[in-house]
Structure 1
Amino acid sequence: MMNRNSYDELRVELYELMDRLKKERYIPAETLCGLTFCEMQVLRWVYMANQRNEDAKPSDMARHFRITPSAVSQSIKKLESRGYVARMRSDADSRVVRLALTDDGLDVAERIQEKHIAFMNDLFEYVGVDNIEQLTKTLRLMLEFLEQNPSLKRCDRKEGDSCA
């Protein structure tokens, strides 16, 4: 059994580590074509949607990344101006906008994906598959706990707002 001080120390360390993971954006030292982290994520999102033969919709992207549609739109505008993505109307519903990669965008997205895979391979090698499996199991249990306790609410706040 863990004593009170060890429990408190472990709790503090867990909070600090979770906060660092949330705040830090670890990207390769050589950023690709001067893109921001968010722009790389947008390209990768569109690339992955195309791989699954799905529409890449800005609204889905905003929900997935838990950012505002405005933030997604800003990144898309920058990527459009660089000739990496194009907005297209959906064939099924003309009100729906979907994103497509240009040839240049596909080239950059493939390089981003290659770097992502290399990063994950290095991470797995360094941390070890058994540790990654244990971490995944632990995170699943933590999420299950949170989902099963309706008294715990997500703090949906805007950047800079406090949340008690």
Structure 2
Amino acid sequence: MEIGNAEKIYQIMQKFQKMKMNSTHTSELPRSEIMMLKMIKLNTAETEGVTISTLGELLEISKPAVSQMINVLEDKGYVERMTTKNDRRIVYVRLTENGKQRLAKELQSLLKGMTQIFDKMGEEDTEDLLRLLEKLYLIVSACTHK
């Protein structure tokens, strides 16, 4: 019985999930903490920060889980909590300078690892992969916005 392309892609993606993707990327932080720092950076307003509710929605995790991770990152000195004078019930989170530096270092290390992988793939295969991923993104994006 022949396996269809969708199933083959699914199986390959499962293999990626099972393997340790950051074998070329050694980190002092768990991947979940790096993702949290990245989400905070991407969604922080100029003067405020981002709310725990917003982070939970973006990462599709519960508010208590977000709060717990924020506690850990706060203890490490990577984030800080703030309230505004207008509404002290709303707590905002933003990166500290130390958090910004850590995130930049982690992303630099990740990019270095990815560059090593793409060097092994070769320029032509890498360009083909990028072209196909962009095409896939556009198709999926169009399908999900209907």
Q: Same fold (TM over 0.5)?
A: yes
8 Å Cα contact 2:25-2:113 kept in structure 1: no
SS in 1 for 2:50: coil
**Any gaps of 5 or more consecutive residues in structure 1?**
149-164
8 Å Cα contact 2:81-2:91 kept in structure 1: yes
Comparing both structures, which one devotes a greater share of its residues to helix? 2
The corresponding residue for 1:140 is 138
1:31 aligns with 2:27: yes
TM-superposed CA distance for 1:85, in Å, is 1.1
TM-superposed CA distance for 1:142, in Å, is 3.6
Partner AA of 2:52 in structure 1: P
TM-superposed CA distance for 1:140, in Å, is 2.9
1:101 aligns with 2:81: no
The corresponding residue for 1:55 is 49
Q: Identity percentage over the alignment? A: 23
Cα-to-partner distance string for 1:84-137 (whole Å, 9 max, x where unaligned): 211111456433221122232222122123224434555665452332122221
Equivalent position to 1:130, from 128, 131, 136: 128
**Any gaps of 5 or more consecutive residues in structure 2?**
none
The corresponding residue for 1:16 is 11
1:81 aligns with 2:75: yes
Q: C-alpha separation between the residues in 2 aligned to 1:100 and 1:134?
A: 35
Q: C-alpha separation between the residues in 2 aligned to 1:26 and 1:102?
A: 27
Q: How many residues align?
A: 140
The corresponding residue for 1:111 is 105
1:69 aligns with 2:67: no
Partner AA of 1:14 in structure 2: I
TM-superposed CA distance for 1:65, in Å, is 1.6
Partner AA of 1:73 in structure 2: S
Q: What TM-score do you get using the length of structure 2 for normalisation? A: 0.72
SS in 2 for 1:128: helix
Q: What TM-score do you get using the length of structure 1 for normalisation? A: 0.65
Cα-to-partner distance string for 1:55-90 (whole Å, 9 max, x where unaligned): 322222221222222221111111111222111114
Flag the structure with more relative contact order, 1 or 2, with Cα contacts below 8 A and sequence separation at least 6: 2
User: Cα–Cα, structure 1 residues 117 and 58, in superposed 2: closer, same or farther, change >3 Å?
Assistant: farther
User: Cα–Cα, structure 1 residues 64 and 25, in superposed 2: closer, same or farther, change >3 Å?
Assistant: farther
